[in-house]
A and B are shown apart, each in its own frame.
Chain A
Amino acid sequence: MKKEDQFKSRVYWNPYFGGFLLGLLIIFTFYITGRGLGASGALKSVVVTTTDVIATEHAHSNKYYSQFLDSDDSPMNNWLVFEALGMLFGAFVSGAIAGRLKLKVEHSPKITSTRRLVFALVGGALFGFGAQIARGCTSGAALSGISVLSTGGFITMLSIFGSGFLVAYLFRKNWI
């Protein structure tokens, strides 16, 4: 019984099907709103708002934050933030239907879960840093960028995956 559950929870969609639906979603998004998807922008809004709440003066004097703080509207009132909320909800529903809701740390059996968490944190920091420099992440810049044949998106995508392949050897202990 448990094995069946375990098996069932690992049944994912056919990747081509998922990609097809995602492509349709991108077309739909562009058709209705004229912009593509995005993810890291929402987190940036969270950071900006938090800094504004905790240390308002510093936020306004900092050159980067002040770009997003000038209007009297909260930076959380942003398309990406609502989309991110929708993403959380959608992923939750999908996980619930497939029986994948479980609080756990997913790691290779060869490493400890603490090591996994540390690497996740460091990886997140690096990724967030890089996403701000490149003005986009894989979904916003790479995916939506390629969908309109944008040069910036193309370069970003090549850069991400290219460098990923280059450093994969260094991190192999964590995964395989």
Chain B
Amino acid sequence: MGPLIPNGLIPIEWNFVISILIGFAFGYILEASGFSSSRKLVGVFYGYDFAVLKVFFTAAAVAVIGLYYMDYLNWLDISQLYIQPTYLWAAIAGGFIMGTGFLAGGYCPGTSLAGVAIGKIDAIAFTVGLMIGIFAFSELYEVLEPLFTASNLGNPTLADSFGISPYMLILGFSLCAIIAFYVSDKVRAKVKKVIY
């Protein structure tokens, strides 16, 4: 029950084998949905292609509903899953820089790997840039450390932070997703078409 490897139901040596398989599926889905194309990815910001929004919201909604159903049926223990720590200022500042990088480069790390795999040279440039950026960060770590470790709020879930039952949050999220899909289709019909 629960996450299988942390509970020892699958020996831990399988962890790496499984990770390769999961990565394979992840790369396949990303590429087949078209995320190896930078122009498709930034379409969501200019209104000519909302594939990112659709994939993202659908994946998140399916995943969160599925996980909470499994938790309800006692097949999974949600409290054992990895919930990342919340560093308030680091998340906001990092997110801002990432957003700028996303628009400039047109990729994100996962999709850039997909782009590299099919031979897009700009994806290769992006990946090299990623490594340069990581390198720069570690060199400047001394300076940035206060920002990096500021306001660690622990590992809260949204339910903990806002005091709303997680199920209501999931319902709200699903409704937002449906509305977002509808709106995105309307917007796309009005925006000038871009061929890529």
Shortest beta-carbon distance, B66 to chain A, in Å? Answer: 4
CA A115 – CA B131 in complex, angstroms?
A: 20
Shortest beta-carbon distance, B13 to chain A, in Å? Answer: 12
Q: Is A24 in contact with B132, judged by CB distance below 8 angstroms?
A: no
State the main secondary structure of chain B at its contact with A.
helix
CA A12 – CA B111 in complex, angstroms?
A: 15
What total of A-B pairs shows CB separation below 8 Å? 507
Question: What number of B residues sit within 8 Å (CB to CB) of A?
Answer: 131
Q: Which residue of B lies closest to A95 (CB)?
A: B118
Q: Is B131 in contact with A150, judged by CB distance below 8 angstroms?
A: no
Q: Is A128 in contact with B132, judged by CB distance below 8 angstroms?
A: yes
- The contact size tier of chain A is 35 or more
Q: A62-B138, A129-B133 are in contact. List 19 more A-B contacts (CB 8 A).
A: A12-B33, A28-B22, A33-B19, A40-B130, A47-B135, A51-B135, A83-B19, A86-B26, A87-B26, A87-B117, A100-B118, A127-B108, A131-B109, A132-B134, A133-B144, A134-B93, A148-B83, A148-B157, A164-B103
30 A-B Cβ contacts within 8 A? A19-B56, A22-B26, A22-B29, A23-B58, A23-B62, A26-B63, A33-B5, A43-B134, A87-B113, A88-B23, A88-B113, A90-B23, A106-B196, A117-B122, A120-B122, A121-B125, A121-B129, A124-B130, A126-B98, A128-B136, A128-B137, A131-B133, A133-B144, A134-B90, A148-B64, A151-B156, A152-B83, A159-B98, A161-B99, A164-B100
